[in-house]
A and B are shown apart, each in its own frame.
Chain A
Amino acid sequence: MTQVQDEQELQAQFDAVVARHDRIEPRDWMPEGYRKTLVRQIAQHAHSEIIGMQPEGNWVTRAPSLRRKATLLAKVQDEAGHGLYLYSACETLGVSRAELTELLIEGKQKYSSIFNYPTLSYADVGTIGWLVDGAAIANQVPLCRTSYGPYGRAMIRICKEESFHQRQGFELLMTMMRGTDAQRAMVQESVDRFWWPALMMFGPPDDASPNTAQSMAWGIKRDTNDELRQKFVDMTVPQAERLGVTLPDPAIAWNEDRGHYDFGEPDWEEFAAVVRGEGPCNAQRIAHRRRAHEDGAWVREAASAFAAQQSAQQSAQQQEVSA
């Protein structure tokens, strides 16, 4: 009886915090569904940053100049950092890092479908910076105000770093567009491949996204998938014009009445297939992550053994001193 009452009171306190747009912190009481949703979303987000290193990391050794190489290396290193901020936020919800890694390499948790597409040319490094990091920014800026404190704080750090990612990508593409016909064709070909997958990064359309309403009620999400997708298109179309590339969607047109760009419907069948694991690189990405994790096992164990030995020596010395 009192337990039910307590729970109702706790729920009311929680609701009040969310209603006044305040933050929930790790040791607060929270509904189990809220915790589960956050674990799933933050983990998926962290995994995306980590897996997201692969398509670009692929090109580090083949960068066309030292400047591009230093840039790409710094960008990929940032993505590793983003993954770590997010894993650390996720751990405040009572899951362990080891568990999360396991769930990823067992294929039991997802990551963004965009990283299951291959990077076929150096122009892809530019396109990813421009479109993929651009879409990530559109997704992430509102998440800085998410109701869960550690998640919001991680997003603030990440957003500060993302603008470098997008700008270096756009600059790379602009440089190529000022180059030869062959280079311009490379950029166009790359944009053709990445445009639709970038739009899919916002997730299924609102009428096929049953969890959105609850997530918004909890203050985890601040905008719907379709709202964010529209925002991204509105920001990107003028950039494409400035760049001189054609976005591969004949339906793109300014709509005076709506005050937005109209655009076509992504191929949701393809999206579903990639999410199911049937994208061009799903198996490769996970296999690579698993290999890196397993190859690193001896390093983790050796470092633990060394730490244990050091602290044993230290306490032995301390005993000697006090004896």
Chain B
Amino acid sequence: MSAVRGEWPLWEVFVRGKRGLNHVHVGSLHAADAEMAVRNARDVYTRRNEGVSIWVVKASDVTASSPDEKDPLFAPAGDKVYRHPTFYDVPADVPHM
């Protein structure tokens, strides 16, 4: 009952700018259901051909890592410099590398 009287749920909107690119988060909007969210997203976020495809996800369905940018979740990558190409010494005169 309260769902009927209450506010429409919040949807996060993702737009694929053109073929070959990922969908990127562009913002959010309210809509009663997924279909309406897609239609509203078209009007709010793609009035000038900003996209070729739209995803909408209920904001309450998003699972996020913990808030802080210093999240320990990302710590394992912090000391693994050997995952980057610059870690490896190759003489400057080796071609095409």
Contact = CB atoms under 8 A, between A and B. Distances in A.
Taking each of A85, A89, A304, which has the highest tally of chain B beta carbons within 10 Å of its own beta carbon? A304
A308 B4 contact: yes
Given A150-B27, A303-B8, 13 more contacts: A27-B64, A28-B68, A85-B44, A89-B27, A91-B28, A97-B30, A157-B26, A303-B32, A304-B8, A305-B4, A306-B32, A307-B33, A308-B3
Interface string A78-89: 100100110011
Closest 6 CB pairs of A and B: A27-B67, A303-B32, A307-B33, A307-B32, A98-B7, A88-B28
A269 B67 CA distance: 46
A28 B27 contact: no
Contacts of A84: 29, 44
B68 A81 contact: no
Contacts of A25: 69
Interface residues of B, number: 24
B10 interface: yes
6 contacts: A13-B70, A28-B69, A91-B28, A303-B32, A310-B33, A311-B33
Interface string B75-90: 0000000000000000
A301 B5 contact: yes
B76 to A, nearest CB: 21
B36 interface: yes
For B26, B44, B67, B69, the residue with the greatest tally of chain A CB atoms inside 10 Å of its CB is B44
Interface string A22-44: 00010111000000000000000
A300 B31 CA distance: 9
A96 interface: yes
B4 A304 contact: yes
Q: DSSP class of A's interface residues: helix, strand, loop or mixed? A: helix
B10 A91 contact: yes
A300 B10 CA distance: 14
Interface string B36-74: 100000011001100000000000000010011110000
A301 to B, nearest CB: 6
B27 A154 contact: yes
A175 interface: no
A293 B32 CA distance: 16
Contact of A81 (B5, B6, B47, B69): B47
Interface string A53-75: 00000000000000000000010
B74 to A, nearest CB: 14
A27 B65 CA distance: 10
